[in-house]
Amino acid sequence: MDNFKIATAQFENKSGDKAYNLSVIEKLSGKVAKEGANVIAFHECSITGYSFARHLTREQMLDLAEFIPEGASILKLKEIAAKFDITILAGLFEKDKHNDLFKAYVCVDKNGLVAKYRKLHPFINPYLTSGNEYCVFEINGWKCGILICYDNNVIENVRATTLLGADIIFMPHVTMCTPSPRPGAGFVDPKLWENREADPTSLRLEFDGMKGRGWLMKWLPARAYDNGVYVIFSNPIGMDDDQLKNGCSMIIDPFGDVLAECRSFEDSFVTALLTPEKLIDSGGHRYIEARRPELYREIIGQVHQSSQKVIWLGKE
């Protein structure tokens, strides 16, 4: 594998406005291409918007969702990818020929669909169906995986994707600044966003505290470190329906170090150079080599009944 440059983006999407959201994806993709990056990743449901879907009926969800790969949004992504010779990863709601609904995330290049992943643990809308398989594919000779938002909080998913060969795991989210039982969690007042130019400090304190980045940094670098993989985290900035999100899209290396992070309140991106040597030198690589699965195969694989309640407005 050769070194290659990758980007992660953040932007304030508009609920249900695919044309607008795709126009922002096109704008940022063009800027990234000029900086010599090969890939750009956007957040969960970056094409459709996310939080507003908790209000939608099944019929409204079917109207919003698209077939993949023949849907209009995938065709537009292909057009953008060809225009700038770049690979794009973005999210949307998907429907199939049986009218089952999924939370999907796709990888598209100038030739069309490269990969599609369906979220394993969807919860924003009760009509969504869970995905049932992992996804590993190749970009520029690198093995890549995808896990959407809550999928990454179930640590077995990250390890399984790594064991399937992933060197890079794309982790698109719409997260942080939401209620949770953990200390310090909660919504951030949208008035702070409206007043961000006059008072950026108050907004940054909320975004960087335990409602936002402080919580993220408790676990996200550990996923990269424990598994010896690059993590590409993407998250929206600004209002997603009536919920404020804090962005901080970032690229983390196999040592758990943040290589680059979006720190503005604007639609933006950051890039980083990925080098294959870090995959082998990382502690996570050694830990995987040292595993003794005969000790815990039956423990990890045992059937259990979840007692967790689903909350459609979203949770961490």
Residue-range domain boundaries for the chain: 4-291
Domain 4-291 has CATH 3.60.110.10: yes
292 exposure class (CB count in 10 Å sphere: 0-12, 13-18, 19+):
exposed
- Spatial contact of 314 and 55, defined as CB atoms under 8 Å apart: no
pLDDT by residue for the chain (316 residues), tens only, comes to 899 999 999 999 999 999 999 999 999 999 999 999 999 999 999 999 999 999 999 999 999 999 999 999 999 999 999 999 999 999 999 999 999 999 999 999 999 999 999 999 998 999 999 999 999 999 999 999 999 999 999 999 999 999 999 999 999 999 999 999 999 999 999 999 999 999 999 999 999 999 999 999 999 999 999 999 999 999 999 999 999 999 999 999 999 999 999 999 999 999 999 999 999 999 999 999 999 999 999 999 888 777 665 544 444 4
Contacting residues for 308 by C-beta, under 8 A, at least 6 apart? none
Looking up tokens 């919920």, which residue turns up? 243
pTM: 0.96
| Sheet architecture: strand order including 87-95 | 112-118, 101-109, 87-95, 39-41, 4-10, 268-274
Which is it for strands 112-118 and 250-252: parallel, antiparallel or unpaired?
unpaired
